[in-house]
Structure 1
Amino acid sequence: MTSNEVVVDEDWEYRRLQLPPGVSRLSAALQLSIQAEFAGWELSNVRLYSDGTRRVWLRRKRTLAAAGLPGVIV
């Protein structure tokens, strides 16, 4: 699983991942479940390409700590 970019919106931050063609559907679901459980991400969009590559967008709600407010320990 490779992380390509993180995009920050007003209320959400998005992360794009690319899963290589050899990754099974079950393995992809497991990897995404781990991201959801431990990093707070949720599935936003999945695209499956003809070569077997999956491009996945994850999103999570921005918190006050993630916004970089002074006095908040991250």
Structure 2
Amino acid sequence: MDIFIPRDISREAARQLLTEHAEYGQWELSRVRKYPDGSRQVRLRRKILRVRSTL
């Protein structure tokens, strides 16, 4: 999943947006690309949930 964050979004607002995706969507940060104009492209990936055997 890619999210484009424009340059006029504050760092705190971007952090809050990414935190919500991580908590509620089970995503984790994969890569951040920052462009010369100040905008950012954030790539998220699905968090892998390891299941332990109960046997």
Q: TM-score range by the shorter chain?
A: 0.7 to 0.9
Runs (4+) off by over 6 Å:
none
Name the CA distance, whole Å, in 1 between partners of 2:25 and 2:19. Answer: 10
| Structure 2 unaligned regions, length at least 5 | 50-55
Asked if 1:18 is matched to 2:1, the reply is no
Gaps of 5+ in 1: 1-14, 64-74
Report the identity percentage: 45
Count matched residues. 49
Q: 1:36, CA displacement in angstroms?
A: 0.4
SS across alignment from 1:22:
coil
Q: C-alpha displacement at 1:39, in angstroms? A: 0.5
More helix, by proportion = 2
Q: Which residue of 2 aligns with 1:33?
A: 19
TM-score of the superposed pair, with normalisation by structure 1: 0.60
The one of the two structures with greater contact order (alpha-carbon pairs below 8 A, sep at least 6) is 2
TM-score, with structure 2 as normaliser:
0.79
Relative to its length, the structure with more strand (as a share) is: 1
